[in-house]
């Protein structure tokens, strides 16, 4: 039985609009502002995948528009890129990839490869450990 309050201790935002990806491309998500929170996790969700692979990546920076962006180092990820990559057998699956770096702004992107008909992918950002609660 659950007895702890997760509801008031997380903030969930849309990180990548659920969308059909029908070509080899990189789809960039929203820039997530981590101010006020000490943890960030992306939940990446697939729909039906008919072909290809869908690989996440993360950028980080201190500028609100990520003009100073850099790829998040593997040591600042919770989980692995390989573990959060989707293949043809990953229909209707949720995978997660966390961030433990120190930059204020973070963005998730999905790069598709070997796609002819494609699939549907989306993601939400879950921010936790609010500095001032309850989370909004």
Domain boundaries, the chain: 7-130
pLDDT of residue 1: 57
CATH 3.30.565.10 fits 7-130, yes or no: no
pLDDT of residue 43: 98
pLDDT of residue 83: 98
Low-confidence stretches of the chain (pLDDT < 50) are none
Residue 107 CA: distances (Å) to CA of 49, 85, 86, 114 = 23, 16, 18, 24
The reply to whether omega before 136 is within 30° of 0 (cis) is no
Residue 105 is encoded by which pair of tokens?
A: 């702004």
pLDDT of residue 129: 93
pLDDT of residue 2: 62
pLDDT of residue 134: 84
Cα–Cα distance between 134 and 136 in angstroms, integer?
Answer: 6
């Amino acid at each position: 039985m659950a007895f702890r309050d997760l509801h008031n201790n997380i903030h969930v935002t849309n990180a990548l609009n659920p969308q059909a990806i029908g070509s080899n491309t990189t789809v960039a998500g929203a820039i997530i502002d981590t101010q006020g929170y000490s943890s960030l996790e992306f939940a990446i969700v697939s729909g039906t995948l008919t072909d290809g692979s869908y690989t996440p990546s993360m950028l980080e920076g201190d500028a609100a528009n990520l003009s100073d962006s850099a790829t998040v180092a593997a040591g600042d990820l919770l989980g692995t890129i390989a573990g959060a990559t989707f293949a043809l057998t990953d229909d209707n699956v949720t995978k997660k990839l966390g961030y433990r770096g120190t930059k204020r702004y973070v963005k998730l992107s999905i790069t598709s490869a070997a796609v002819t008909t494609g699939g549907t992918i989306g993601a939400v950002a879950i921010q936790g450990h609010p500095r001032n609660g309850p989370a909004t």
